[in-house]
Structure 1
Amino acid sequence: MKRLIEKGLMFGNLMHVDTPVLVERYNRALRHLTGKSTALAEFHIDISGYSPEIGDELADHYYLNHGGVNRQFILLSTEQRHCPLLNAEFSTSRDILRRFIDTNERQLFALTGTDAVAGELENSVLEVSSPEQLFDTRRIVVEADTTGGTIAHSARLESLIERFLSEQDAWFDGALIAEMVETAKLTGDISRNPVRLQHAEFEQKNFWTSHFGGLYLFTDVQHSALIASGEKPRGRLPVDRVLSFEDRKGIARFLEDNQLAEPIVKARGANEVVILRQKMDFILAATLAHRGVALDHLSRSDMRRLAPRHTEHLPKEYEGLAAMARWAETRGARPRIGMEHPSYFYLLRATNTPDRDLVNMLLAELSPLDFRQLFICHKHEFYRRYRSWSESKRAYVTNMLSREYAMDKAGARALLFGDGPDMHGAIEEPKAEARDAISGPNAGGETLLA
């Protein structure tokens, strides 16, 4: 993984904690949450305050995420909202933390000026020992305070002030006035600078979790489903369908029934055909690397010239992408690619809904030879697969991602996935043309991608 780290493709955009003041604040929060501390003089943290270096030091990379639920966090600065979330067990956790920071930016900026803010993403379960318990994790409450208890003291002071204003003869209650004075020393003037965090409750209805080998749970759609990357969970679950990756047709129908995915290329001559050509290049690179071809100094043109020599070794995913690209670029026959064809999910992307990122994550795992989409949408799976690749493929992938994707991330995402929806606004209806791009069932009862 060293190559990924050196290229900024792993542990990138972390916040550097390198001053004695910040290290001491972090340690106060760490002891408050876990009873542990670090002896490191500097380290890096993600949006939740997790540090890979401290994880190595403690021999526990889940020191803020015990059991994979109720993730704890440490905020030293509101700038952490720009950081990634490492070791994510739920796809919604980073978005919840970022929205919490954005909503309370002014308050958190003031609080982290003098102390660390420590907290937890709490749900109604303490552990997830069965898939059924995932349906009890829909409501997430963010509990947070400084290590000195500033918010709790502020709430206490507000209560005391309310008593003082409402009770008769409160002016003569020396004990009440003394407690107000002492508490105010801890909080400051809350009439001018109220210390209260807002929007601390969130719902996660559609999400991915790494538990049980990886599960995608869709409950907030017309036709609900649980989709397993590995073995399909047993038992009765409160969804319409329980699917595994082996049931490709079932997953394709689920996406179609809920209008969650659309073809990348919807018309002949569309500009999106460049995406198909890039996917073909990635598959070609994987094939050449597997055949022992050194990719270090090969350009895409060089690789394409080598393609005819390895035709019999190119997988069916390549064939399907090539057929669709030919149709989009020429007057060739329109390909009829069924749901069970290996290239089917390579030819799709998510429609413009609030679940776009989750659906693209699912599609990335269903089309793993497209390493760029896997890296963008599902880093957990990308890093897992990277460990098994040849040195030649690792070098090619890291060079390509650092050279072409990292230089213009926003542009690459716009090309691949289109304009994203307002994730905090109203749900937008998918465009009619996206639905029309998928033909109806043929005589054999199988939907075809056109």
Structure 2
Amino acid sequence: MNLLRDNELIYGRLLRVEEPHLIERYNKALKAFGLPPTKLASFEIDRSGFSPQIAEELGDPHYLDPNQVNRRFIILAPAQAELPVVHTAFSNTSQLIHEFFVKNSRAIDALTIKDVIYGEIEDSVSKVETIEDLLSISQVEFRVLSAEDVLGKAAELGTLVDRLKQEPDAWRDDEMLRHMVELAKVCGDIRENALVPDQVIFRHNAFWTSHFGGLYVFVDPDMTTVISDPAAPGFRRSRPWQVSYLSIHDADRVFKFLASSGRLELPRASWIETSDYLEHRAEMAILALIREAEPQRDIANVDKVWLQTWIHGHADLINRDGIFPFLNAAKREIRQRGQMRMEDAAPQHRFLVVRAKPDHPDAWLTNRLISEFVPSDFAARYIFNKQAFYTDYEKLTEPWRSYVVDRLKTAYLSDKTALRTRLYGLVDRER
């Protein structure tokens, strides 16, 4: 993983913490969680406050996520709002924390001047043992604390201010007035500084979770759909009138669900011909075949002529695989008819020619699910399904690791927005 880290393809864009007062505040949060303080002189944190360096120091990658539910967070600075979340058991953790930052920006700005904000994203379960535990989570609440209890003192000061306004003789209480002055020294003028968060409860909608080997939950008005390995505990055992269960190994049913629920953009000339989407998929498919056939080959400097020669020389292998011929046939059909008859395609191949509907709220999650069925496309796996990408990367030989890293650096990291917009029609922020 060192090559990925050196090129900011893992743990990239994090916030460096090296000021002594910020390290001291972080340690106060760790102590509140029952964890030992860090001895590091500097470290990096993500949006949630997770630090890969501290995880390594503690020997515990789940130090902020002990049961992979009720995620902990540590906020040192408002700038964390723009960072990624690099370690989580739920795909929507990043979005929930971002919403918390947005809805409570004034309080976070004011509090982090003096204190560290920490706490847990609490839901209705303390441990996930079956699918039903996951389905019972409909909303989450941010339980917010601060090391110096600035939040508590601000609330107390607010109560005393109300008393001063409402009780005619309250101003005669010298002890109360002295206590208000002491509180104000910590909180400042609470009429100007909003120290108490405005919103701490948020909806918990569609998500992917790492539990049970990876599980997807999609929420529609009349039905919740679970997509996972059928071996997951509770599969098809809970509320069949409200919950539909699909095996992640059943490409046909998964595709039909995504299409019928309006989450897929089907292959039409209007976007296929301007995005180079099929050309991208075809190149990824050929690279996967080369990787399997020649795992030690260094292809860092190969050109299109070499690639075309390889394709001609391995026609039998390519035809047996079937992906490259299928994509070429799809291009011809779309060029001639403006669209493609999906029912004629094998279920597994259908995912090669579709993308998530860009304006659907579940677009990122849907693209993640699509990537499960297109393992050859390492770029899509990296963008939408980093856990799967990192697993794939570990299996690569050194020449191919170098190639994948260089390819992602030049094709994606150089301009993420442009590539996501061209291939996937996405213009919103990275999740």
Give TM-score, length-normalised by structure 1. 0.87
What's the secondary structure of 1:382's corresponding residue?
Answer: helix
Deviation at 1:269, TM superposition (A): 9.2
Provide the residue aligned with 2:409 in structure 1. 402
Q: What one-letter code is carried by the residue in structure 2 that aligns with 1:299?
A: D
Provide the residue aligned with 2:269 in structure 1. 267
Provide the residue aligned with 1:84 in structure 2. 84
Structure 1 15/422 Cα, relative in aligned 2: closer, same or farther at 3 Å? closer
Q: What one-letter code is carried by the residue in structure 1 that aligns with 2:264?
A: A
Contact 1:225 / 1:240 at 8 angstroms: preserved in 2?
yes
Q: What one-letter code is carried by the residue in structure 1 that aligns with 2:332?
A: R
Contact 1:268 / 1:327 at 8 angstroms: preserved in 2?
no
Over the aligned positions, Cα root-mean-square deviation in angstroms equals 2.5
2:260 to 246, 257, 271: 257
Q: What one-letter code is carried by the residue in structure 1 that aligns with 2:235?
A: R
Separation in structure 1 between the aligned mates of residue 330 and residue 427 of structure 2, nearest angstrom: 25
Are 1:281 and 2:283 an aligned pair? yes
Contact 1:323 / 1:335 at 8 angstroms: preserved in 2?
no
Are 1:376 and 2:379 an aligned pair? no
Deviation at 1:389, TM superposition (A): 2.2
Where do 1:53-132 residues align within 5 Å? Answer: 53-132=53-132
Provide the residue aligned with 2:323 in structure 1. 317
Structure 1 223/307 Cα, relative in aligned 2: closer, same or farther at 3 Å? farther
Provide the residue aligned with 1:415 in structure 2. 422
Contact 2:351 / 2:370 at 8 angstroms: preserved in 1?
yes
Separation in structure 2 between the aligned mates of residue 271 and residue 236 of structure 1, nearest angstrom: 44
2:355 to 344, 349, 360: 349
Q: What one-letter code is carried by the residue in structure 1 that aligns with 2:374?
A: S
Are 1:165 and 2:165 an aligned pair? yes
Q: What one-letter code is carried by the residue in structure 1 that aligns with 2:401?
A: R
Structure 1 319/172 Cα, relative in aligned 2: closer, same or farther at 3 Å? same
Structure 1 336/69 Cα, relative in aligned 2: closer, same or farther at 3 Å? closer
- 5+ unaligned residues in a row in structure 1: which ranges? 424-450
Q: Which piece of structure 1 moves more, 393-402 or 405-414?
A: 393-402
Separation in structure 2 between the aligned mates of residue 420 and residue 219 of structure 1, nearest angstrom: 23
Provide the residue aligned with 1:443 in structure 2. none
Are 1:306 and 2:307 an aligned pair? no
- 5+ unaligned residues in a row in structure 2: which ranges? none
Separation in structure 1 between the aligned mates of residue 222 and residue 58 of structure 2, nearest angstrom: 45
What's the secondary structure of 1:343's corresponding residue?
Answer: helix
Q: Which piece of structure 1 moves more, 94-103 or 391-400?
A: 391-400
Q: What one-letter code is carried by the residue in structure 1 that aligns with 2:251?
A: R
What's the secondary structure of 1:113's corresponding residue?
Answer: helix
Q: What one-letter code is carried by the residue in structure 1 that aligns with 2:29?
A: A
Structure 1 17/133 Cα, relative in aligned 2: closer, same or farther at 3 Å? same
Where do 1:39-58 residues align within 5 Å? Answer: 39-58=39-58
Separation in structure 2 between the aligned mates of residue 329 and residue 301 of structure 1, nearest angstrom: 25
Structure 1 333/235 Cα, relative in aligned 2: closer, same or farther at 3 Å? closer
Separation in structure 1 between the aligned mates of residue 95 and residue 55 of structure 2, nearest angstrom: 23
Contact 2:225 / 2:246 at 8 angstroms: preserved in 1?
yes
Q: What one-letter code is carried by the residue in structure 2 that aligns with 1:312?
A: D
Q: Which piece of structure 1 moves more, 288-297 or 321-330?
A: 321-330
Q: Deviations over 1:82-112 (max 9, x none)?
A: 2111221111111111121122223322222
What's the secondary structure of 1:144's corresponding residue?
Answer: strand
What's the secondary structure of 1:302's corresponding residue?
Answer: helix
Contact 1:139 / 1:204 at 8 angstroms: preserved in 2?
yes
Structure 1 182/243 Cα, relative in aligned 2: closer, same or farther at 3 Å? same
Deviation at 1:6, TM superposition (A): 1.8
Separation in structure 2 between the aligned mates of residue 336 and residue 227 of structure 1, nearest angstrom: 21
Separation in structure 2 between the aligned mates of residue 222 and residue 48 of structure 1, nearest angstrom: 33
Where do 1:202-221 residues align within 5 Å? Answer: 202-221=202-221
Give TM-score, length-normalised by structure 2. 0.91
Separation in structure 1 between the aligned mates of residue 213 and residue 406 of structure 2, nearest angstrom: 30
What's the secondary structure of 1:324's corresponding residue?
Answer: helix
Give the total of aligned pairs: 422
Deviation at 1:356, TM superposition (A): 0.8
Identity among equivalent pairs (%): 31
Q: What one-letter code is carried by the residue in structure 2 that aligns with 1:348?
A: V
Provide the residue aligned with 1:444 in structure 2. none
Provide the residue aligned with 1:134 in structure 2. 134
Provide the residue aligned with 1:242 in structure 2. 245
Provide the residue aligned with 1:191 in structure 2. 191
Q: What one-letter code is carried by the residue in structure 2 that aligns with 1:14?
A: L
Deviation at 1:177, TM superposition (A): 3.4
Separation in structure 2 between the aligned mates of residue 111 and residue 324 of structure 1, nearest angstrom: 56
Q: Deviations over 1:144-192 (max 9, x none)?
A: 2321111111111112222333345434444443433333332122123
Contact 1:140 / 1:203 at 8 angstroms: preserved in 2?
yes
Provide the residue aligned with 1:177 in structure 2. 177
What's the secondary structure of 2:102's corresponding residue?
Answer: helix
Are 1:296 and 2:303 an aligned pair? no
Q: Deviations over 1:214-238 (max 9, x none)?
A: 1111123554310015735434223
Where do 1:142-157 residues align within 5 Å? Answer: 142-157=142-157
Structure 1 361/331 Cα, relative in aligned 2: closer, same or farther at 3 Å? closer
Q: What one-letter code is carried by the residue in structure 1 that aligns with 2:353?
A: L
Q: Which piece of structure 1 moves more, 309-318 or 163-172?
A: 163-172
Q: Deviations over 1:15-62 (max 9, x none)?
A: 111222221221122212333210000111111111111111101111
Q: Deviations over 1:107-155 (max 9, x none)?
A: 3222222322112211121111111011222211112232111111111
Separation in structure 2 between the aligned mates of residue 407 and residue 143 of structure 1, nearest angstrom: 38
Q: What one-letter code is carried by the residue in structure 2 that aligns with 1:23?
A: I
